Copies of this chain bind each other. A is one copy, B any other.
């Protein structure tokens, strides 16, 4: 039995569920007799190095506050993008471990994406050279859903629910006029198309974008324009969902297409966005009304339409991380394994961080149609359970209550 204090941090881009995972870690730590104090580090490992710590047990001394935290988007502890130096930088690791000793930290929980798992891997490796026992657990979060070793990641379900709902609403909006028009909706996902895939979910309710393009398939402009032409044969309002990360066959990002010609009032070049490039191409070819919409930040922070399944799983993953650590696990990343679809059932597990760090999990071939411009029923079936359930929020002045740490 390893007694001492715990510290938890959040890192990387925010999500609607990352605070639910934080709440889970706090809940788990408060229950564990091995853990005396659970500290939060502000702005991830950067804040820890400045000893910018919060006693989370004191802050969250009642359940109501934890529930409010679970419903608050973005990282309540703040985030950072620091990548740890190589193990050869002994001075860095020595100062870090001096702080662990100073605060009697025996348990280290890091909630984040790929880079955060790299941090866990490096700390675990260095700890093995020390005569100070510690346990390191990576707790995954990313709306991108592209972490290896897990069926899905906390945060994805809420982002997917937002995208599916917003896509339905946009399709309704676009359907009101009878003149030809194309609407291109750009969805996050530089490497993997999981989020863009979720734009297909409204099909279950009888509507869907006409075309969906993921980065897992090479993008061809001529084939795209042909597909729009075919879609026009069905109805005048064509809606296209497109991942920001789609690339041409030569490896250029489609979003770079504008870069060469576009300059702003100061003469600067800038990256215009994938949807804008398609907007221009469609306007050129069809001369019709074209609109591009970037769903942008709300995809990762729209906690007002979070998935109840996602939030409750996120809390459970946090709690399980603490249970795993006190039972002796270290250098592992928490995972979600899907046991069955009907009924939807998961088990929370963990795997060695080397199986996860610095890898990307792509949308499988079976989820993408043969033409590479839509999602199969298998893909929709995969995503559906992750967006189910609505969260009962508290509203103050007509706006959702947020907990500000």
Contacts and interface: CB of A to CB of B under 8 A. Distances in A.
Nearest to A303: B169
A165 B283 CA distance: 33
Contacts of A263: 261-262
Interface stretch (A32-40, A116-124, A397-405): A397-405
A293 B295 CA distance: 9
28 contacts: A14-B173, A43-B176, A43-B178, A46-B178, A74-B176, A78-B176, A81-B177, A164-B398, A165-B399, A166-B302, A168-B399, A169-B298, A170-B297, A170-B301, A173-B297, A173-B301, A201-B399, A202-B399, A205-B399, A207-B402, A261-B262, A261-B267, A264-B277, A265-B277, A268-B283, A291-B297, A384-B397, A388-B397
Contacts of A43: 176-178
Contact of A201 (B261, B264, B284, B397): B397
Interface string A185-208: 000000000000000011011110
A399 B384 CA distance: 10
Nearest to A169: B301
A4 interface: no
A300 interface: yes
Given A265-B277, A301-B172, A398 B389 contact: yes
Contacts of A46: 178
A401 to B, nearest CB: 8
Contacts of A293: 294, 296-297
Interface of A: 10, 14, 43, 46, 72-75, 78-81, 161, 164-166, 168-170, 172-173, 175-178, 183, 201-202, 204-207, 257-258, 260-268, 270, 272, 276-277, 280-281, 283-284, 291, 293-294, 296-298, 300-305, 307, 384, 387-390, 395-402, 404
B270 A265 contact: no
A80 B264 contact: no
A41 B150 CA distance: 52
A156 to B, nearest CB: 13
Contacts of A277: 264-265
Ranked nearest first, the 9 interchain pairs of A and B with the lowest CB-CB distance are A387-B398, A264-B280, A79-B176, A74-B172, A173-B301, A169-B301, A204-B397, A388-B398, A74-B173
Given A74-B172, A168-B400, A402-B172, A390 B395 contact: yes
A318 B83 CA distance: 59
A236 to B, nearest CB: 11
Please tell me how many copies of the chain the complex holds.
Answer: 2
Given A176-B14, A176-B79, A280-B265, A169 B205 contact: no
A169 to B, nearest CB: 4
A107 B355 CA distance: 70
Contacts of A294: 293-294, 296
Nearest to A393: B390
Contacts of A305: 304-305
Contacts of A177: 43, 78-81
A10 B175 CA distance: 13
Contacts of A176: 10, 14, 43, 74-75, 78-79
Nearest to A12: B176
A268 B296 contact: no
A30 to B, nearest CB: 24
Contact of A284 (B161, B204, B266, B302): B266
A262 B260 contact: no
A280 B268 contact: yes
Contacts of A261: 262-265, 267
B72 A172 contact: yes
Contacts of A79: 176-177
Nearest to A78: B176
A205 B14 CA distance: 21
